[in-house]
């Protein structure tokens, strides 16, 4: 049973009372059908743009998408999109349709080509119910019956076949959209649809870069991203040719149980659901096939694959017009993804000082995902150590522990003003000594405590200096007491 929010029912009733047809359509209806709770609702109608605007003149309306045939109406805090029937939408150009079925046909996949209203019930011209009602939900492309010529010996006959190609040729990003459904939910691509996708994979060349990047991001951010990437490598390689050498490439090392592409896919699934982290994992080992070298025992080594992977990833990101901040962050993380992370807390603080806390945290998150995806047993010794380092980093930042000399509770000027030192050089020397104390004992980073340590250090230094002067004076006195006879004899040259 499909239950609509009251705001959506009000939209449908307003249009119907004005003499128009009105239906809920698209992804929101699919989500309702399988028992989910969508937040965005789309309504289509045979009313024109001006008629929609007039019908909802008493409501808050946004005409920002009017060029695409989309009007946003706000009702009791919910925004509902209302559109006239459309046959095709390309950018900000729209071709309107006369009937509902034409509007449904343009939606690419059967599961998005249903319509519903309480007045008429469910309208399902492409049998989406069967694709969604089985044990495994299926992604099925909408096709059309076309007549083709078939040769049989010397004779030529015609046959009617169900062709799905148009769904992908008119909107190439749908090739990724189908994979995205598998990444976001437990969908499987139906066999005929998969064959059609592979046959039309060259359409990626005509896809909008922004649409491809957005769909690719939604794929890697999905709950089932690892499975979707593994299963659809033969399609994805047309949009990212750099992944093709990784597919089935065995690493021949005791540190890895999987081929390169399987490892990459699993690392994306294990990564923190952050676009920068997940894109890093998608690209991080693309350089391995180019850098593999076998030792005398036949074991694989991949020296320099971080730099090679960075260069390949930058080429991909340029092609897909990645934003500069993402580009720079992903590039840096790929280059450093094999960086050795120390276990010692003091060394970890030095690394925080060198790389910065946020960059080091992102690097650790990447290395943890990388480590988990290497072996069938995900919690390896390396993974445990990396988790411990991440926990230590979080503790250092949460507790405000000092990891840089600039964080000391006293300054060089204060040491000079209190006459604990005489020169800048002496002040820097004393600050470095205090920093060494605080690195080992974070609780000592207290102004009064550091001043006390500085006072004692000054006294100790003065005593050492006094002892040194006394020793020099005693030596001089001893030499004076021995007189001139203690001096070496002066001999004339012969």
> How confident is the model at residue 317, as a pLDDT?
96
The residue whose two tokens read 């979080």 is 394
Same domain? 20 vs 121: yes
Same domain? 216 vs 111: no
pLDDT tens, position by position, 279-292: 999 999 999 999 99
Q: Kindly indicate the confidence band of residue 489, based on its pLDDT and cuts at 50, 70 and 90.
A: very low
pLDDT tens, position by position, 335-375: 999 999 999 998 999 999 999 999 999 999 999 999 999 99
pLDDT tens, position by position, 11-28: 999 999 999 999 999 999
Exposure of 249 in the CB half-sphere (CA atoms within 13 A): 21
Instruction: Flag whether 360 is in a domain.
Output: no
Same domain? 123 vs 58: yes
User: Lowest mean pLDDT: which of 151-160, 166-175, 387-396, 429-438?
Assistant: 151-160
d(CA 330, CA 278): 9
> How confident is the model at residue 147, as a pLDDT?
67
Helix pair angle (357-372, 275-283), 10° resolution: 50
Same domain? 126 vs 140: no
Instruction: Flag whether 488 is in a domain.
Output: no
The reported pTM is 0.83
DSSP secondary-structure letter at 170?
S
The number of distinct structural domains making up the chain is: 3
Same domain? 123 vs 191: no
pLDDT tens, position by position, 161-174: 778 888 898 888 89
> How confident is the model at residue 429, as a pLDDT?
83
Instruction: Flag whether 446 is in a domain.
Output: yes
Same domain? 126 vs 190: no
Q: Kindly indicate the confidence band of residue 482, based on its pLDDT and cuts at 50, 70 and 90.
A: low
Instruction: Flag whether 292 is in a domain.
Output: no
Q: Kindly indicate the confidence band of residue 324, based on its pLDDT and cuts at 50, 70 and 90.
A: very high
Mean pLDDT of 399-407: 89
Beta strands in 115-172 (DSSP E): 115-117, 121-123, 137-139, 144-152, 155-163
Same domain? 11 vs 104: yes
Closest by Cα among 123, 133, 206 to 168: 206
Instruction: Flag whether 252 is in a domain.
Output: no
User: Lowest mean pLDDT: which of 51-65, 109-123, 429-443, 451-465?
Assistant: 451-465
pLDDT tens, position by position, 450-481: 888 888 776 665 665 566 677 777 777 777 76
% of residues, the chain, pLDDT over 90: 63
| CATH assignment of the domain containing 64 | 3.30.460.10
> How confident is the model at residue 490, as a pLDDT?
45
pLDDT tens, position by position, 207-245: 888 889 999 999 999 999 999 999 999 999 999 999 999
> How confident is the model at residue 90, as a pLDDT?
76
Same domain? 26 vs 116: yes
> How confident is the model at residue 114, as a pLDDT?
95
User: Lowest mean pLDDT: which of 118-132, 145-159, 332-346, 422-436?
Assistant: 145-159
Q: Kindly indicate the confidence band of residue 111, based on its pLDDT and cuts at 50, 70 and 90.
A: very high
Using the predicted structure, report yes or no on whether residue 422 has a pLDDT greater than 90.
no
Same domain? 205 vs 107: no
Instruction: Flag whether 274 is in a domain.
Output: no
pLDDT tens, position by position, 38-93: 989 999 999 999 999 999 999 999 998 888 899 999 999 999 999 999 998 877 78
> How confident is the model at residue 30, as a pLDDT?
92
Instruction: Flag whether 29 is in a domain.
Output: yes
Token code pair at residue 17: 């009372």
% of residues, the chain, pLDDT over 70: 93
Same domain? 125 vs 148: no
Instruction: Flag whether 181 is in a domain.
Output: yes
Q: Which among 134, 169, 201 is the end of a domain?
A: 134
Q: Kindly indicate the confidence band of residue 393, based on its pLDDT and cuts at 50, 70 and 90.
A: very high
What is the residue range of 20's domain?
A: 6-134
Token code pair at residue 108: 């690419």
* CA angle centred on 158, ends 193 and 189, rounded to 5°: 5
Same domain? 121 vs 32: yes
Q: Which among 176, 209, 227 is the end of a domain?
A: 227
> How confident is the model at residue 492, as a pLDDT?
47
> How confident is the model at residue 384, as a pLDDT?
95
Q: Which among 188, 212, 227 is the end of a domain?
A: 227
Strands 78-84 and 41-45, bridge-based pairing: parallel
> How confident is the model at residue 189, as a pLDDT?
95
Average pLDDT for the chain = 89
| CATH assignment of the domain containing 184 | 1.10.110.30
């Amino acid at each position: 049973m499909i239950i609509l929010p009251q705001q959506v029912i009000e939209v449908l009733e307003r249009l119907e009372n004005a003499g128009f047809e009105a239906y809920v359509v698209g992804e929101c209806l699919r989500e309702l059908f399988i028992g989910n709770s969508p937040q965005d609702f789309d309504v289509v109608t045979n009313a024109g743009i001006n008629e929609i605007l007039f019908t909802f003149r008493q409501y808050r309306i946004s005409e920002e998408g009017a060029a695409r045939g989309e009007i946003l109406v706000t009702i009791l805090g919910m925004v509902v999109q209302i559109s006239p029937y459309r046959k095709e939408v390309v950018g900000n150009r729209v071709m309107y349709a006369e009937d509902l079925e034409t509007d449904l046909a343009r939606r690419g996949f059967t599961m998005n080509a249903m319509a519903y209203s309480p007045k008429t019930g469910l309208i399902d011209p492409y049998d989406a119910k069967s694709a969604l009602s089985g044990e495994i939900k299926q992604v099925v492309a909408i096709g059309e019956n076309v007549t083709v010529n078939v040769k049989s010996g010397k004779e030529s006959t015609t046959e009617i076949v169900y062709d799905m190609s148009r769904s992908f040729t008119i909107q190439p990003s749908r090739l990724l959209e189908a994979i995205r459904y598998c990444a976001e939910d437990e969908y499987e691509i139906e066999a005929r649809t998969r064959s059609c996708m592979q046959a039309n994979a060259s359409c990626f060349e005509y896809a909008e870069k922004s649409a491809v990047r957005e769909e690719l991001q939604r794929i890697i951010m999905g709950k089932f991203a690892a499975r979707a990437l593994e299963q659809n490598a033969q399609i994805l390689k047309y949009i990212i040719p750099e992944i093709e050498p990784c597919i089935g490439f065995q690493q021949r090392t005791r540190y890895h149980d999987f081929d390169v592409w399987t490892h990459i896919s699993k690392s994306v699934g294990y990564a923190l659901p952050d676009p920068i982290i997940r894109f890093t994992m998608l690209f991080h080992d693309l350089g391995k096939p180019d850098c593999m070298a076998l030792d005398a025992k036949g074991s694989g080594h991949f020296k320099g694959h971080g730099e090679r992977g960075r260069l390949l990833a930058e080429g991909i990101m340029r092609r897909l017009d990645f934003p500069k901040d993402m580009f720079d962050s992903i590039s840096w993380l790929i280059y450093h993804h094999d960086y050795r992370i120390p276990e010692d807390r003091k060394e970890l603080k030095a690394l925080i000082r060198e790389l910065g806390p946020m960059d080091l945290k992102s690097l650790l998150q990447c290395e943890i995902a990388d480590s988990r995806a290497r072996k069938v047993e995900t919690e390896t010794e390396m993974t445990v150590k990396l988790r411990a380092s991440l926990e230590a980093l979080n503790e250092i930042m949460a507790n405000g522990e000092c990891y840089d000399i600039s964080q000391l509770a006293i300054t060089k000027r204060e040491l000079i003003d209190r006459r604990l030192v005489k020169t800048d050089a002496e002040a820097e020397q004393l600050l470095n000594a205090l920093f060494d104390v605080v690195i080992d004992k974070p609780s000592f980073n207290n102004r009064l405590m550091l001043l006390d340590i500085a006072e004692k250090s000054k006294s100790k230094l003065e005593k050492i200096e006094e002892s040194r002067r006394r020793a020099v004076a005693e030596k001089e006195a001893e030499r004076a007491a021995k007189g001139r006879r203690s001096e070496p004899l002066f001999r004339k040259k012969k």
